[in-house]
A and B are shown apart, each in its own frame.
Chain A
Amino acid sequence: MELKADRLTKQYKNKIAVDRMSFSLTEGVTGLLGANGAGKTTLMRLLSGILLPTCGSVSWNGMDVGAEEYRDVLGYLPQHFGYYPEFSGRDFLLYMAAAKGIPKREAVQKAEELAELVGLKDAARKKVRTYSGGMKQRLGIAQALLNDPQVLIMDEPTAGLDPQERIRFRELIAGLGQDRIVLLSTHIVSDLEPIADRLMIMKEGRLLWQGRWAAGNEDLESFYMSVIGGEQTTV
């Protein structure tokens, strides 16, 4: 299983959001770090196939990410997304399950399981407009998992979660990363430390550092700062 980017570039008029990035992701949790405006969200959209690159390519097991087969194995949680106010949480999950092509009976069962997994079982039949920010974020996580994705891309998934929820989420992701590709971006470095097998650090659209990071004398926060500051060289 391989998600591969080859000289991936996205340019908007005068700004290069992603600049000739090449990397390959395999099973495990990869953390994507970078300051605001580094190009993390653009990169994730490119990897999700919802944004076309200016040049370069993204492939899944050798297949273009624009293919329907790729969408079947993809779970994506964007940083910001809306909900339909007239839908309940359950409605939202069933709607997304239908969009993902999951048969109805299976979708109902999956929606119930995931609602329970993210702690929304009791609120599943309430309108989404009554949900708190954290509940909406958990609902977003649940929808990303509906199709049991082999590639899970999550943009700032812990935003809006309280400390207890973040711990639960980390445990969930650590489990999921064992047999699938998980890419998650966050600006909370401590969220990555216990679960990330690999790291990618971006700055101004460029990949500054990528590789396996092992806790040694230096904690992840200090390591990240040293990369951003230019003390560590690109791998």
Chain B
Amino acid sequence: MLRTLYKYELKKLFLSKVNLLAMAGSVVVLVFLAVSSFSEDRAGAREAARELDGRTIDGQLFEEMEPGLQSVNGMTVLQVAEGYERFAPILTMMMPVTGDEFDPARFRETGFYELRRQKIEQRMEKEGITEEERAYWADLEAEVPKPFVYHDFSGPANLLKSFQALGFFILLLSAIGLSGVYARETADNMNQLLLCSRYGKRELYLIKFAAGITWILTAAVLEILALVVPIGFIFGMKGAGEMLQLVKPLSMLPCSIGQIIAVCALIFLLAAVLFAAVTMLLSVTTQNALAVTCGLLGYLIVDLFASVPDRFRLLQAVWNLRPNAILMNTGFVNYRLIRLAGRLFQNYQAAPAAYMIIAIAAMLAGRWRYRSLQVE
């Protein structure tokens, strides 16, 4: 019987016109987003990336690059300099370290890796990183091979970049698709029938919850595929095994781009579960689907535009654990760590556990609320 109930709860979610429209719309927009990265990618740069594939990023390469860097009044005007196009992929890759104002003289003097170290040090100072945290990162940094070796990584890089949008879309889908899971029964006067049935008072809560999680995970997988399939088709996935620093040069994580993509995908799926659990808790608590949708959209705006100043260390650490912060890749160049049970954890290590704890707490709180439901 419970399986039949689950089947029908799935049917409600999957056949709802609003849900179908929202899911299809998000997939179309994500495919468009993935394809648009191809139109931004110039043919010359792609050719240059292929030619530079396997080149070590060292002094010899910088010497070859220098004629292509034209300095005007102490500022480098890259795009107009002859020969720039040939090295554009590497210059773009180095940009987070060098900044927009690429000064060849300073660069020659200090070297790329020293500049990178200084930049990391500046960030650490700004973030108020403790000695213990510095020691933790130093151990990891020691495992990052240097000098970097350039490889064409446009496919995985575009995928990682596109992942930034996923958190936004899954929250939107959750707000639209799951806000009515419990609230709708009240709005449609169905609670009267369900609450006086054998399973309606207890088991149905968990069955609805499970159906909601199934729906959001299906949506999440479709969203990942909406990015992976077109990007894989256009760019291929060559470069997934290359070092993360080619995409995030200020990261000190000794891992590959593909590993970070896998981590992002896992965090995204767990974030989907988190959003679904919170949406369903709000649904059962407020019994008002519109209020839930509006509340979550309000949160989305705060999530996108609000930031916590560095001086509020604990608050910032918590704020940086939110799914959008991790998926927008800030988690991989954020040096603040979270101490738990005597151990230090990075954001992307702590976030999955936090999401699951919150999701389970939301489920239990919702169950408590559901059992006290009455038909007034």
Contacts and interface: CB of A to CB of B under 8 A. Distances in A.
Contacts of B198: 68, 71-72, 99-101
A84 B12 contact: yes
Interface residues of B, number: 28
B199 A101 contact: yes
A96 interface: yes
Interface string A39-61: 00000010011111000000000
A172 interface: no
B189 interface: yes
A76 B12 contact: no
Nearest to A153: B196
B136 interface: no
Contacts, number: 93
A68 B201 CA distance: 9
B197 A71 contact: yes
A195 interface: no
A74 interface: yes
A99 B7 CA distance: 12
Nearest to B373: A50
B138 interface: no
A118 to B, nearest CB: 16
Interface in B172-227: 187-201, 204
A23 interface: no
A159 interface: no
A86 B15 contact: yes
Contact of A82 (B5, B190, B197): B190
Contact of A81 (B2, B5, B193, B199): B193
A86 B16 CA distance: 7
Contacts of B196: 48-50, 71, 74, 76
A94 B8 contact: yes
B1 interface: yes
Nearest to B376: A51
B1 A101 contact: yes
B189 A98 contact: no
Contacts of B2: 98
Given A78-B189, A82-B190, 19 more contacts: A45-B375, A49-B195, A50-B192, A50-B374, A50-B375, A51-B374, A52-B374, A78-B193, A81-B193, A82-B187, A82-B188, A83-B188, A86-B16, A87-B11, A91-B8, A98-B2, A99-B193, A101-B197, A104-B1
23 contacts: A48-B192, A51-B376, A52-B374, A76-B196, A78-B189, A78-B192, A80-B189, A81-B188, A81-B192, A84-B188, A87-B11, A87-B12, A91-B11, A94-B8, A98-B2, A98-B4, A98-B199, A99-B199, A100-B199, A101-B198, A102-B1, A104-B4, A143-B193
